[in-house]
């Protein structure tokens, strides 16, 4: 089973130059959960003056927690954000720590050393909670494959940072291709290097962008290394507003189709997912006629012979 983590309501929305209505987001999250998407990053607890699109995150967490079986994730850049996420009872905290220190300063206004301290403080916060109430802590190493500000990011920087983050208290580390610089060989090399450094069980996911058209190829390379969780965004929305030129996450519906067509089970009903994408596209274009929505499957449709792996096995 491959876990698809939908990041559109957070990463997809944050780069838009208009505010998406909360009711649109609620319908979006509800529709994806109903389609079988197991995990959704519904928002981030950040400074809303910098990212006003995230001002409804608390309400979205509350809504998402009513959806049966859904793992509710949020991004938290610091201890203050983690405190808000814990109060809201999110299931998973995703902490962005950039391998590029320049990007880290622009993205979260903190150096590597300061972010290590933040992770340790968040670990202490979580450990003070009752065991059953503790969210998991995943640290996403942003710009793990290169930075549009610094350029090349050495592999050793990524592995060293992964080790320090685990020592600080992360449950697991993920690698993020924030700038869309990665290629399949780089994915294999860096995932395997981090697996060697911290243990394969502590790196199960990657966050990929399709900026240069290699998103799905990179996803396959990650699967070859044993990665079991892939981030994606419905309609390919997204990109980091603090990394110039970093556009587009891999498209959720296209990714699910590729995996299911290859025989990998995701537990997601594709027709329902495509319908959710259609509704989202209509809502976004109603708000802004040129709203960016990407992907191929929704336009081309499923092949006549398409059979989900679960049905093919019967």
Q: Which residues are catalytic?
A: 240
Q: Give φ, ψ of 110 to 5 degrees.
A: -145, 145
The SS3 call for residue 159 is helix
Helices 112-127 and 79-88 pack at an angle, to 10 degrees, of 30
* DSSP conformation class of 263: T
Is the separation of the CB atoms in 3 and 40 below 8 Å? no
What's the CA dihedral at 278, 227, 38, 15 to 10 degrees? -50
Is the separation of the CB atoms in 205 and 227 below 8 Å? yes
Q: How far apart are alpha carbons 290 and 198 in whole angstroms?
A: 44
What residues contact residue 194 under an 8 Å CB cut-off, 6+ apart?
Answer: 158, 159, 162, 173, 175, 203
Q: Give φ, ψ of 3 to 5 degrees.
A: -90, 125
Q: DSSP secondary structure string, 186-239? A: HHHHHHHHHHHHH-GGG--EEE-B-TTS-HHHHHHHHHHTT--EEEEBGGG---
Cα angle 64, 20, 43 (rounded to 5 degrees) comes to: 40
């Amino acid at each position: 089973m491959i876990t698809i983590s939908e990041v559109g309501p957070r990463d997809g929305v944050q780069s838009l130059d208009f505010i998406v209505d909360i009711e649109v987001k609620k319908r979006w999250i509800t529709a994806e959960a109903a389609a079988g998407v197991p995990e959704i990053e519904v928002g981030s607890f950040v400074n809303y003056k910098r990212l006003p699109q995230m001002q409804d995150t608390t309400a979205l967490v509350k809504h998402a927690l009513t959806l049966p079986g859904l793992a509710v994730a949020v991004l938290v850049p610091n201890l203050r954000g983690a405190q808000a996420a814990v109060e809201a009872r999110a299931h998973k905290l995703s902490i962005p720590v950039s391998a590029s220190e320049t990007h880290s300063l622009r993205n979260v206004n903190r150096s590597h050393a300061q972010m290590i301290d933040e992770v340790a403080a968040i670990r202490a916060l979580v450990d003070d909670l009752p065991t059953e109430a503790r969210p998991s802590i995943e640290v996403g190493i942003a710009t793990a494959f290169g930075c549009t500000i610094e350029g090349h990011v050495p592999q050793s920087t990524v592995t060293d940072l992964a080790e320090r983050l685990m020592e600080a208290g992360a449950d697991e580390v993920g690698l993020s291709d924030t700038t869309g610089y990665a290629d399949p060989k780089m994915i294999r090399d860096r995932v395997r290097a981090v697996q060697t450094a911290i243990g394969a069980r502590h790196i199960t996911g990657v966050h990929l962008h399709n900026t240069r058209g290699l998103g799905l190829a990179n996803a396959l390379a990650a699967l070859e290394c044993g990665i079991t969780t892939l981030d994606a965004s419905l309609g390919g929305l997204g990109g980091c507003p603090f990394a110039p030129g970093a556009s587009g996450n891999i498209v959720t519906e296209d990714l699910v189709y590729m995996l299911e067509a290859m025989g990998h089970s995701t537990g997601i009903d594709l027709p329902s997912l495509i319908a959710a994408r259609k509704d989202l596209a209509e809502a976004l274009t109603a708000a802004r006629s040129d709203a960016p929505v990407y992907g191929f499957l929704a336009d081309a449709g499923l092949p006549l012979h398409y059979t989900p792996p679960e049905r093919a096995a019967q």
